[in-house]
Amino acid sequence: MKILIIEDEYSLADAIAETLQKENYTTKIITNGEDGEDEALTNIYDLILLDVMLPKKDGFEILRNLKNEKVNTPIIMITAKSELPDKLKGLENGVDDYITKPFHMRELIARIKIVLKRSANIDNANVLEYSDLTLDLSTGKMSSNGNEISINGKELELLEILLLNKNQIVSKEMLINKIWGYDINAEYNYVEVYASFLRKKLKLLKSKVKIKAVRGTGYKMEEEDD
């Protein structure tokens, strides 16, 4: 699988490339919009990671031009912006997924795999699973042991991030930045409040999955031993 990385922050692009190569992907880095678009137009890549803010040509313009040229390569946009209008702009122009800086490489890998599965017409690309728990991102339904509960908003975002990083500690700072953004004075207890909501729902579902608070660090999703 070949992945094109169009990102002007070379240290980040290089870190992404190194991570992807460990996952047996072949990568190429382009650090400006014009050359990135020319490379994407070759249509030889299985997926494109496209930054929004680029020199010479921004990511939205590249996205529109690729769609106009009938390049159907799956695209994940990378941006430091977390505002809804930017996400909607990308989605309206045909982007396949959106990831906001800062992000964990594990989350990026998970999103890449989901997008690649979707592009290959594999069923349930929007379904995340761990142990006896299933989350359908398209409907917001979490289910376990034949029971089902609907969630939305911050609960859905929090559960998605934890599932994408299952068995790994996710820092409170990362959760706040991803869910509430940089411009809000979100306190650490916001995360605890929503984690508590999810714990109650997991208990109602009689799931073995637990959300563990790691003192002074963050949260971890793990399976309770029988």
Rounded average pLDDT over 186-198: 83
Average pLDDT over residues 83-99: 70
Contacts 24+ apart (CB under 8 A), 167-171: 167/220, 167/221, 167/222, 168/104, 168/106, 168/220, 169/214, 169/217, 169/218, 169/219, 169/220, 170/104, 170/218, 170/219, 170/220, 171/217, 171/218
Note the pLDDT of residue 183: 46
Residue 209: the pLDDT is 95
Q: Can you spell out the DSSP letters for 44-91?
A: --SEEEEESS-SSS-HHHHHHHHHHTT----EEEEES---HHHHHHHH
Read off the pLDDT of residues 34-84 as tens digits, 9 standing for 90 and up. Answer: 999 999 998 889 899 999 989 999 999 999 999 888 888 999 999 876 555
Q: What is the pLDDT averaged over residues 176-189? A: 66
Kindly state the percentage of the chain with pLDDT values over 90.
51
Per the model's pLDDT, the better-predicted residue between 11 and 119 turns out to be 11
Structural domains present in the chain: 2-119 (3.40.50.2300), 127-223 (1.10.10.10)
pLDDT at 135 over 50: yes
Does position 178 have pLDDT exceeding 80, yes or no?
no
Q: Is the pLDDT of residue 188 over 70?
A: no
What is the chain's mean pLDDT, rounded?
Answer: 86
What size, in residues, is the chain?
Answer: 226
Report pLDDT for 82: 57
Mean pLDDT is lowest, of 19-23, 72-76, 162-166, 180-184, for: 180-184
